[in-house]
Amino acid sequence: MGSHPESLPSPTTPAGREGLNAVLARPDRAVIALDFDGTLADIVPDPEQARAHPGAVSALAALAPKVASIAVITGRPADVAVRFGGFAGVPGLEHLVVLGHYGAERWDAVSGAVHAPAPHPGVAAARAGLPGLLRAFGAVHGAWVEDKGRAVAVHTRRAEDPQAAFETLRGPLGELAAEHGLIVEPGRLVLELRPPGMDKGVALTTYVRELDAESVVYAGDDLGDLAAFAAVEKLRDGGPDGVPGLLVCSGSTEVPDLAARADLSVPGPAAVVAFLAALAERL
């Protein structure tokens, strides 16, 4: 932070205020979990060009030593998020964890290694079927495939009509995914074919329980973050085993639904970074 730190914004809901108060009371027992694209990194037309927002790494590095853990939970492969985030080898982030592929992969800064299950065989079959499917929908100019290894994603942001392309492809991609035992994960102008059985909610709950955390903050911007939002809602409704939590929405016009579920909405990655910096400053 500079010499004029932003003040910590106040959540608009009682549950959110309780969550933030729990973090402030025992930061050493708090898990801070963050999505990557759209939350720590601005949305850009080419996913290869996405990078952590300037200030994100220093805000995380200032916050990390004061809390139990910081985890980035992303649809990206873990190693890609680490690279695009600039998260490796940063003083202060020696214990950072990145849960990639919606939690199927785990990278930790201590080992620098990614742990992951065997690839799902359906991904190779779906990958082989994609060119034919996209040719059949030749009108969807500009849709393209991001090969993520353990998943394949069809992006429509650069199509002539991004939303129309998204809607056109959603059904056929769902059929292709089902044919090969996969699911479709919809996101911001992207439809991803990926293995079932894991989502950001499962990943977050497992991580919070693993650390025996006493509070949790989750910040996200996209449909894939709704599972993590639901997990925090469930954790904080958990009676004696409940965990107070704060839900932060990195707002955009593309996913207005998320703001309605959040305790605190901020306008995009720059404001998320300012929130993290203000939280570090307060602690």
Ligand X SMILES: O=P(O)(O)OC[C@H]1O[C@H](O[C@H]2O[C@H](CO)[C@@H](O)[C@H](O)[C@H]2O)[C@H](O)[C@@H](O)[C@@H]1O
Interacting residues with ligand X between 1 and 60 (CB under 6 A): 35-38, 43-45, 47, 50
Secondary structure element (H or E) that encloses residue 220, with its range: strand 215-220
Stretch that binds ligand X, among 86-94, 114-122, 149-157, 269-277 (CB under 6 A): 149-157
Whole-number minimum distance, CB 24 to ligand X, in Å?
A: 27
Distance between CA atoms of residues 78 and 126, nearest Å = 21
The nearer residue to ligand X, 30 or 191, going by C-beta atoms, is: 191
Residue 261 makes CB contacts below 8 A (sequence gap 6+) with 226, 229, 233, 247, 249
- Taking residue 273's Cβ as centre, other Cβ atoms within 10 Å add up to 24
Question: Any contact of residue 146 with ligand X (CB under 6 A)?
Answer: yes
**Active-site entry in 35, 108, 221, 222:** 35
Question: Any contact of residue 161 with ligand X (CB under 6 A)?
Answer: no
Whole-number minimum distance, CB 110 to ligand X, in Å?
A: 22
Closest CA to 143 of 153, 175, 176: 153
The nearer residue to ligand X, 215 or 250, going by C-beta atoms, is: 250
Token duo for residue 125: 């079959």
Token duo for residue 94: 């020696």
The nearer residue to ligand X, 137 or 144, going by C-beta atoms, is: 144
35 flagged as catalytic: yes
Number of H helices, E strands in the chain: 9, 12
Question: Any contact of residue 269 with ligand X (CB under 6 A)?
Answer: no
Q: What angle do CA 265, 266, 269 make, to 5 degrees?
A: 130
Distance between CA atoms of residues 182 and 122, nearest Å = 6
Interacting residues with ligand X between 60 and 119 (CB under 6 A): 74-76
Question: Any contact of residue 190 with ligand X (CB under 6 A)?
Answer: yes
Whole-number minimum distance, CB 10 to ligand X, in Å?
A: 26
Site residues (vs ligand X, CB under 6 A): 35-38, 43-45, 47, 50, 74-76, 146, 148, 153, 155, 157, 187-190, 192, 222, 224
> What positions carry a catalytic annotation?
35
